[in-house]
């Protein structure tokens, strides 16, 4: 009997549908589509205001700094950007750049140029460590906004007291002296000058004096007065003689002669000497000098002799006639 060879029976496999991989190009296109969509999604519209000039751009920059770098926008000292360069950009955002402007400052004999934002003069000086003294002057004023066309000037103001001296002229003290003739004088005590110290407050602007104010005076050496004796004795010179007089009057002079009577004072009248007066004007007994008549004495009175009238005694009627009536100066002798 022939042997029959048994063959192993293999189980039947179920048939599955084979998935073919997409072509490479299709995958690449799909990736690029996603990339483009993502790139487009990150694009932002930004408004840039640079020192007042407005422009609107589209950008994929993530931060303000990246945006400025992409646009070639440079910031220099004291320029201010808002938001800051490290801040993230937002769609429909705004970037504001405030440009600094130059300002010159003169202080302590040196002029420097700075860049600054619009601030007050006080804030500007503080920001640049420019210190002010108690009395310093600043132009323009501290509350004024800095201006590119207006330099800031700091004037250093200092004060100093100074002393100067000047002589004090002696005063002249006049004292009447009846032993000296009128018009004569003599120094009794010589005068000596004194000294006056004047204290001034001097204002200096940047080391140069610009004002001086007197704040005090002190007499450091007293002056010694000069004492001057001034003559009060009035004199006239007549016929080589000098007569001192206390008063002089202009009077009307008449003449009279012998009547056989004595004078009112009991004397015998003498020519060239006896004069009749009004006792209310010239007291009896007063020594006189009458121009044109000479040295005389008030010895007599008369009913017609009143006021500023005198009657001169002569020895004869002829002399009286020759004299007539005259206006004369009558000196009251001492």
Residue ranges of the chain with per-residue pLDDT less than 70: 1-42, 92
Longest dimension (CA), the chain: 245
Give the number of other Cβ atoms within 10 Å of residue 304's Cβ. 11
Determine if the peptide bond prior to 45 is cis (ω within 30°): no
Q: Give strand pairing partners of 102.
A: 115
How far apart CA 325 and CA 143 sit, in angstroms, is 96
Beta strands in the chain (DSSP E): 44-50, 53-59, 80-82, 93-98, 101-107, 110-116, 137-139, 152-155, 157-168, 172-181, 185-189, 194-205, 208-221, 226-238, 241-256, 274-276, 287-290, 294-300, 309-313, 326-333
Predicted local confidence at residue 28, as pLDDT: 52
Give the number of other Cβ atoms within 10 Å of residue 310's Cβ. 26
- Which residues lie closer than 8 Å to 209 by C-beta, 6 or more apart? 202, 203
Q: What is 136-161 written as a DSSP string?
A: -EEES-TTSBPBTTB-EEEE-EEEEE
Predicted local confidence at residue 48, as pLDDT: 92
How far apart CA 118 and CA 227 sit, in angstroms, is 75
Predicted local confidence at residue 32, as pLDDT: 55
Predicted local confidence at residue 173, as pLDDT: 95
**C-beta of residue 272 within 8 angstroms of C-beta of residue 315:** no
**C-beta of residue 287 within 8 angstroms of C-beta of residue 333:** yes
Nearest by Cα to 108 from 54, 62, 158, 60: 158
**C-beta of residue 157 within 8 angstroms of C-beta of residue 133:** yes
User: Quick one: how far is CA 93 from the chain centroid?
Assistant: 59
Q: Give strand pairing partners of 334.
A: none
Flag whether the pTM goes above 0.85.
Answer: no
Strands 274-276 and 294-300, sheet pairing: parallel
Distances from the Cα of 187 to the Cα of 179, 183, 201, 224, angstroms: 14, 14, 41, 13
Strands 53-59 and 44-50, sheet pairing: antiparallel
- Which residues lie closer than 8 Å to 138 by C-beta, 6 or more apart? 121, 125, 132, 152, 153, 154, 155
Predicted local confidence at residue 3, as pLDDT: 42
Predicted local confidence at residue 6, as pLDDT: 45
How far apart CA 18 and CA 20 sit, in angstroms, is 6
Count of alpha carbons within 13 Å of 229, Cβ hemisphere only?
Answer: 11
Predicted local confidence at residue 180, as pLDDT: 84
């Amino acid at each position: 009997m022939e042997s029959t060879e048994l063959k192993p029976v293999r189980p039947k496999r179920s048939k599955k549908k084979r998935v073919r991989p997409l072509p490479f190009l299709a995958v690449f296109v799909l990736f690029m589509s996603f990339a483009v969509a993502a790139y487009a999604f990150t694009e932002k519209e930004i408004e840039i205001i640079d020192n007042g000039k407005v422009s609107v751009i589209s950008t994929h920059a993530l931060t303000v700094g990246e945006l400025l770098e992409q646009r070639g926008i440079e910031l220099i000292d004291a320029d201010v950007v808002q938001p800051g360069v490290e801040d993230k950009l937002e769609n429909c955002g705004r970037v504001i750049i405030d440009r600094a402007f130059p300002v010159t400052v003169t202080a302590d004999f040196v002029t420097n140029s700075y860049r600054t934002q619009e601030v007050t003069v006080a804030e500007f000086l503080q920001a640049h460590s420019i210190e002010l003294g108690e009395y310093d002057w600043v132009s323009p004023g501290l509350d004024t906004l800095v201006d590119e066309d207006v330099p800031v000037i700091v004037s250093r103001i200092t004060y100093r007291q100074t002393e100067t001296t000047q002589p004090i002229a002696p005063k002249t003290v006049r004292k009447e002296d009846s032993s000296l003739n009128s018009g004569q004088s003599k120094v009794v005590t010589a005068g000596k000058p004194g000294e006056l110290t004047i204290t001034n407050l001097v204002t200096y602007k940047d080391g140069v004096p610009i004002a001086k104010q007197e704040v005090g005076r002190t007499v450091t050496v007293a002056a010694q007065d000069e004492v001057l004796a001034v003559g009060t004795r009035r004199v006239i010179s007549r016929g080589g003689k000098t007569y001192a007089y206390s008063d002089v009057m202009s009077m009307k002079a008449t003449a009279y002669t012998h009547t056989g009577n004595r004078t009112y004072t009991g004397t015998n009248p003498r020519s060239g000497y006896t004069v009749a007066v009004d006792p209310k004007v010239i007291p009896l007994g007063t020594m006189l000098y009458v121009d044109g008549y000479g040295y005389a004495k008030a010895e007599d009175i008369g009913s017609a002799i009143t006021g500023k009238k005198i009657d001169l005694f002569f020895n004869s009627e002829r002399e009286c006639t020759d004299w007539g009536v005259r206006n004369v100066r009558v000196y009251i002798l001492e």
